[in-house]
Chains A and B, each alone.
Chain A
Amino acid sequence: MVTVPQSASAPLSAPIELSFDYTRSLGPTLSAFMTGLAERRILGARASDGRVFVPPAEFDPVTAQPLSDLVDIADEGSVVSWTWVGETLPGQPFDRPFAWAFIKLDGADTPLLHAVDVPTADAMTTGMRVRARWTDSPAGNINDIACFVPADGAAPATAAPAERVDPVEMITTPVQLSVQHSASMEETHYLQALEQGKLVGQRCPVCEKVYIPPRSACPTDGVPPGEYVELPDRGVVTTFCIVNVPFLGQRIKPPYVAAYVLLDGADIPFLHLILGCEASEVRMGMRVEAAWRPREEWGPTLQNIEYFRPTGEPDADYDSYKEHL
């Protein structure tokens, strides 16, 4: 979705959602820790200075040797610091207010960071006793501990240890970020012109080269761009490739031609499709023109041009575009 600005002073802007499920292999130490979580056990690592790290550090902070002395730690301990989350963020353990806390589990020397489920900040104090609340189906990651709750002496809800599981050697950690992506003012002008069926570039005031799309600075001279230049919708194929390989998200059945098209009057080509002839007929220097989609489908995008097709004119001389390869 693209938001069209009301005035020319605002650039086009649209949200993009980036997400990726990172798969992370675990070394021996973290593998043991995650396997323990899947069995509702918390493991710490004893370092050479005698301190027990939870979560286990993979390497000794003093000697830098791998840590292999893993010990069972209680799933209950004391809060050594806390802060209150009034407005939660996506991905956090709760979508209602909660506390983050550093919790020193019994048997550990370093605190673990996790969430504490209490209704208000008034219920939090440094030194309070808390106990892990385990998820129903632990899978071998830090979220197997759903949160901590005040340890008020009542029996834990999930007292029974889980069955032994196969070693957990890999975890998946999904990452998702929301970014509001803005076009530059120059790109905005270009995209809005496309919506009107026009191709607009910009001329560098120093080297006088014409860039399409226009850029916020001439990449050769580093100066802000000068005048806008309307360009024709025809030009020359400078170089091309024939796509024979299918891939995820492909919109056209191979084989087809992806080519650099240098519009007449421009100094930089852009990538587009060449259709309207056999792939084997496409050649460097071939004259092409835009095949526009129906006007009612136009938006602020170069996709308004569905592809370029041969004009039938004689090929351009190599010398006329050799500087643009």
Chain B
Amino acid sequence: MADVAVVAFAQAPQERHTSGTTNGVEALVPVFEQLYAATGLTNRDIGFWCSGSSDYLSGRAFSFISALDAIGTFPPITESHVEADGAWALYEAWLKIKTGEVDTAIAYGFGKSSAGLLRRTLALQLDPYTVAPLWPDSISIAGLQARLGLDAGLWSERDMADVAVRSRRDAETNPNAQLQGSKDADELLAEPYFADPLRKHDCAPVTDGAAAIVLASAERAAEFTERPALITGIAHRIESSHLGGRDLTSSPSAAAAGAAAGVDGSRFDVAELHAPFTHQELILRSALGLDGDVRINPSGGPLAGNPMFAGGLTRIGEAANRIMSGEAGRALAHATSGPALQHNLVCVMEAAR
């Protein structure tokens, strides 16, 4: 089956609040234009399109259909949609190229998180019978998870603050980041709790945004970029929807996805982890065996900007960019979905040889 490579990535600026519609068109048009300029492709050349977005976020039915205006759909195109982060749209696009049916594809994701009250909207991804009727918000769920690890001695509030400091300082070199720069850990730890034991710095900000990636068969990838980021493994795994039945201090699904994607202890130069909360990065590093040598989230990661339904795809794009720019030879990207790291995708990329 055909090998597949990332050949271009573009994203909208990550912002707390944009004035646009919830259908993503205004954000996506300039993103697609960047991809066309980078690759020389036009909208007519793309074999397959796949989007990730959510009607719960946009508050309207079939919002992804409106987003198709950003592509231009005559003559008709081949497209699909997932009600999930764009990373899962990329997974579908990867499969489409794997089968040999097409040799180019664009996966994109978009979300206007600011249109509603995000942490409340996310309560609706919980078990609808016994949990969602109580409306526990996403930050509270993360707080419960964080304390389990704190009480077990698996991490400390300082470990968590260190993740925030590193992320937001690294974001200073990312022109698209929403939050850049950070106080030092001592100062952060002096701040009040937001959802005890979480402080504001432990939580990803609420972000509007969009991102898109061009995939091509390895055969054609060199037409579009000098150093394609070859996808050597990609897999996703999910855990039970029974929150109490899971061990929330570890991530067996991330570990299983990593193993299936070829994470075997060999060295990575860089890893982009989709951890919307500081302690979740610590869980993922442990589950994926990423030790101190690996550069984690040099883009600043989700703690510097986390556009819903584009945040995971952005991790793949940022990791691929490190390969395409020559900074990295081997990179890991991770995307998550669901409460408390329920569903995890791992994508391993290498510089094409």
Binding site for B on A (CB under 8 A): 10-11, 13, 16, 18, 22, 24, 26, 30, 33-34, 51, 53-55, 57, 61, 80-86, 89-93, 100-102, 110-115, 121, 126, 141-143, 171, 173, 175, 177-185, 187, 215-224
Q: Does B121 contact A (CB under 8 A)?
A: yes
Q: Does B70 contact A (CB under 8 A)?
A: yes
Q: Does B222 contact A (CB under 8 A)?
A: no
**A51 surroundings in chain B (CB, below 8 A):** 245
Q: How far is the CA of A224 from the CA of B20 in the complex (A)?
A: 14
B residues 55-100 near A (Cβ < 8 Å) are 56, 58-60, 68-74
Establish whether residues B128 and A22, one from each chain, have CB atoms under 8 Å apart when the complex forms.
yes
The stretch of B166-174, B192-200, B323-331, B345-353 in contact with A is B192-200
Establish whether residues B129 and A222, one from each chain, have CB atoms under 8 Å apart when the complex forms.
no
Q: How far is the CA of A171 from the CA of B140 in the complex (A)?
A: 25
Q: How far is the CA of A112 from the CA of B146 in the complex (A)?
A: 17
Q: Please report the total number of B residues contacting A with Cβ < 8 Å.
A: 59
Establish whether residues A142 and B116, one from each chain, have CB atoms under 8 Å apart when the complex forms.
no
Q: How far is the CA of A143 from the CA of B60 in the complex (A)?
A: 29
Establish whether residues A216 and B29, one from each chain, have CB atoms under 8 Å apart when the complex forms.
yes
B19, B68, B69, B145: the one contacting A182 at CB < 8 Å is B19
Q: Can you show 16 pairs from A to B with CB atoms below 8 A apart? A: A54-B244, A57-B240, A81-B151, A89-B135, A90-B135, A100-B136, A102-B144, A113-B136, A114-B134, A121-B196, A177-B124, A182-B19, A217-B72, A219-B68, A222-B43, A223-B29
Q: How far is the CA of A113 from the CA of B135 in the complex (A)?
A: 11
Q: Does B294 contact A (CB under 8 A)?
A: no
Our count of residue pairs bridging A and B at CB distance below 8 angstroms stands at: 181
Establish whether residues A24 and B56, one from each chain, have CB atoms under 8 Å apart when the complex forms.
no
Establish whether residues A222 and B29, one from each chain, have CB atoms under 8 Å apart when the complex forms.
yes
B117, B135, B242: the one contacting A178 at CB < 8 Å is B117
- Beyond the given pairs A55-B127, A110-B244, 5 more chain A to chain B contacts, judged by CB atoms under 8 angstroms and listed by A's residue number, are A83-B198, A102-B144, A177-B56, A180-B114, A220-B72
Establish whether residues B29 and A217, one from each chain, have CB atoms under 8 Å apart when the complex forms.
yes
The A interface is mostly helix, strand or loop, or mixed, namely: mixed
Q: How far is the CA of A51 from the CA of B247 in the complex (A)?
A: 13
**B115 surroundings in chain A (CB, below 8 A):** 179-182
Task: Contacts A217-B70, A220-B73, A221-B72 given; indicate if A89 touches B120 (C-beta within 8 A).
Answer: yes
**Residue of A with least CB distance to B196:** A84
Binding site for A on B (CB under 8 A): 19-22, 25-26, 29, 32, 43, 56, 58-60, 68-74, 114-117, 119-121, 123-124, 127-137, 140, 143-148, 151, 193-198, 240, 242-245
Establish whether residues A142 and B130, one from each chain, have CB atoms under 8 Å apart when the complex forms.
yes
**Distance (Å) between the CB of B342 and the closest chain A CB?**
14
> Chain A CB within 10 Å — which of B22, B56, B140, B243 has the most?
B140
> Chain B CB within 10 Å — which of A57, A175, A182 has the most?
A182
**Residue of B with least CB distance to A179:** B59
Q: How far is the CA of A84 from the CA of B29 in the complex (A)?
A: 42
**Distance (Å) between the CB of A77 and the closest chain B CB?**
12
Establish whether residues B25 and A184, one from each chain, have CB atoms under 8 Å apart when the complex forms.
yes
**Residue of A with least CB distance to B128:** A173
A11, A85, A218: the one contacting B19 at CB < 8 Å is A11
Establish whether residues B25 and A181, one from each chain, have CB atoms under 8 Å apart when the complex forms.
no
In the A-B complex, the 4 residue pairs with the closest CB atoms:
A222-B72, A179-B59, A83-B143, A91-B135
**A92 surroundings in chain B (CB, below 8 A):** 134-136
**A13 surroundings in chain B (CB, below 8 A):** 19
Q: How far is the CA of A175 from the CA of B125 in the complex (A)?
A: 12
Establish whether residues A184 and B26, one from each chain, have CB atoms under 8 Å apart when the complex forms.
yes
**Distance (Å) between the CB of B219 and the closest chain A CB?**
27
Establish whether residues B29 and A224, one from each chain, have CB atoms under 8 Å apart when the complex forms.
yes
Q: How far is the CA of A13 from the CA of B112 in the complex (A)?
A: 14
B197, B198, B244: the one contacting A112 at CB < 8 Å is B244
Establish whether residues A24 and B73, one from each chain, have CB atoms under 8 Å apart when the complex forms.
no
**Distance (Å) between the CB of B248 and the closest chain A CB?**
8
Task: Contacts A83-B140, A83-B147, A113-B244 given; indicate if A182 touches B134 (C-beta within 8 A).
Answer: no
Q: How far is the CA of A66 from the CA of B136 in the complex (A)?
A: 27
Q: How far is the CA of A229 from the CA of B270 in the complex (A)?
A: 51
Q: How far is the CA of A222 from the CA of B147 in the complex (A)?
A: 48
**Distance (Å) between the CB of A23 and the closest chain B CB?**
11
Q: How far is the CA of A244 from the CA of B137 in the complex (A)?
A: 46
A30, A85, A110, A222: the one contacting B71 at CB < 8 Å is A222
B72, B131, B151: the one contacting A113 at CB < 8 Å is B131
Q: How far is the CA of A134 from the CA of B97 in the complex (A)?
A: 56
